[in-house]
Structure 1
């Protein structure tokens, strides 16, 4: 946009400029906000010189619509003073408008919008030369001030965050989690696999692969409960948790997560036991699950991870119950209920208490049946004379 009287020559505008290095760096590190500051300061200069009724703030906010007016003025002044620099007002305005739209692109393509400073560089350079010609001003805005630094400190984390969440790794991970929550397990599996695959080539997410694999393993555990190919899913889930455990063994600073990985690994054996038709395999799988649950419980107690410890006690009890050792199952459920009560896990307390009571009833019935059987055997046994 250009105002109707913009054609009138003026040599009174003292343009705001910065060194090319500073303009580029500040624009990039503030995600283009410095561009708008550049426009704002120049609209303030224009308002002071020739257009007292304009609102610099709003013209800076909508800089993609008003950039041509600034570029035009700089080009006009350059031409009038026969300075051999070109601003390319129309092309620069078009490029700036176009590059502002790039911020909305998916994944990492939005980073192209970070180069929106490019059409400002010719205008900034020409404006600096105009200030020198008209007012004898040399370029002073070269250094990073404390206010510039504060702006960088504020926007740099946002830049990193935006970069991270735009990667295919993170995008697929979030979509996989969303599909998991909706029960769309097959779609979730595909997205998790894409996310893990891209981890190997991502400098941002190579270190985060263990978290993605951990979540993937949990999803596979749930998927296996409803899938016809559950045996394959159990194995795939197990591979994820074993990978995570190996990774955590190599990174001691993350060791607190290992106990959770062990508990989830044990669950793959427990769930596979529920799906098998072989009695021999059934008991072997439960024995492995019980052993790994015990190891997990010991570490969770050391970590004081009471919530996950309660879950693991429950699973230890359930595994014992499935194995046929109801007395052992009661012992673990009592521990789970005790933790639920102590730490206020109300929903778990209700569920665990109900299971514990059912186990006690079951144990009572078993003992009664045992006594009845022993009495019957004793009654039928020949009396010795």
Structure 2
């Protein structure tokens, strides 16, 4: 199980507390989109998100904040048998990164957005049947996660860093690099312990499972003596 940077509940407000809309119309569009999404009518919900984003063009900070949230929604839907939404999710995160690279700032750091972008490739690889394409998706996820991890460490975003380490470990496992996967999970567990993160038990169990793949426990002999 891969772990997203943001735990998404579609019944939760999609705008961060500090990113209130400047106009009522975009708020109403998002509220309508949320209601439709909760009902499972995503085909009707997604165009409303797009309209809200377009309506926020005069307020680029709010627009990019909504793009980030929209990317999270699209990525979650991609995992629900809608893989055609992954490129659209990536487009949202890439837009946010371009905005941040211009010198602007948002609630979420560029490193966090980059890790979210990596997650779209990571998650898509789980359902990809073509071996060559799956390898490409995993390699791209690895490179993006690795770059994000360094920045998250420098910025001391410890929980997001622990989650990124976990995801790096899983990417390595899926690539067949079990030894490196163990190294990443050891880092995740160390951060969980140091900061009291709730993922400790899950991360520790995964680390144990990886170690057992490398060194399977000896089976008791049933041969009569």
* Residue in 2 that maps onto 1:264: 116
* Residue in 1 that maps onto 2:10: none
- Change over 3 Å in CA distance of 1:260–1:298 after alignment to 2: same
Instruction: Give yes or no for contact 1:273–1:286 (8 Å, CA) kept in 2.
Output: yes
The CA distance in 1 between the partners of 2:169 and 2:135, in whole Å, is: 15
**1:183 shift after superposition:** 7.1
* Residue in 1 that maps onto 2:172: 320
The number of equivalent residue pairs is 199
With normalisation by structure 2, the TM-score equals: 0.80
Instruction: Give yes or no for contact 1:173–1:212 (8 Å, CA) kept in 2.
Output: no
Instruction: Give yes or no for contact 2:61–2:106 (8 Å, CA) kept in 1.
Output: no
* Residue in 2 that maps onto 1:336: 188
C-alpha RMSD of the superposition: 2.5
With normalisation by structure 1, the TM-score equals: 0.48
2:101 matches 1:249: yes
The CA distance in 2 between the partners of 1:255 and 1:206, in whole Å, is: 13
Instruction: Give yes or no for contact 1:248–1:255 (8 Å, CA) kept in 2.
Output: no
The CA distance in 2 between the partners of 1:220 and 1:330, in whole Å, is: 30
Instruction: Give yes or no for contact 2:169–2:183 (8 Å, CA) kept in 1.
Output: yes
| Larger Rg belongs to | 1
- Change over 3 Å in CA distance of 1:300–1:183 after alignment to 2: farther
- Change over 3 Å in CA distance of 1:310–1:197 after alignment to 2: same
2:63 matches 1:209: yes
1:73-222 equivalences in 2 (<5 Å): 164=21, 167-177=24-34, 182=38, 184=40, 186=42, 187-200=44-57, 203=58, 205-222=59-76
Structure 2 gaps of 5+ residues are: 1-17, 219-225
The CA distance in 1 between the partners of 2:156 and 2:45, in whole Å, is: 32
Q: Deviations over 1:74-123 (max 9, x none)?
A: xxxxxxxxxxxxxxxxxxxxxxxxxxxxxxxxxxxxxxxxxxxxxxxxxx
**1:170 shift after superposition:** 2.3
Which one of 250, 253, 276 corresponds to residue 128 of structure 2?
Answer: 276
The CA distance in 2 between the partners of 1:236 and 1:268, in whole Å, is: 10
**1:353 shift after superposition:** 1.1
- Change over 3 Å in CA distance of 1:175–1:257 after alignment to 2: farther
Give the match's secondary structure for 1:327.
Answer: helix
2:210 matches 1:359: yes
The CA distance in 1 between the partners of 2:133 and 2:30, in whole Å, is: 34
Q: Which has the higher helix share?
A: 1
Q: Deviations over 1:236-275 (max 9, x none)?
A: 1111111111111002544961111100111111112112
- Change over 3 Å in CA distance of 1:178–1:295 after alignment to 2: farther
**1:356 shift after superposition:** 0.9
The CA distance in 1 between the partners of 2:112 and 2:45, in whole Å, is: 21
The CA distance in 2 between the partners of 1:168 and 1:251, in whole Å, is: 28
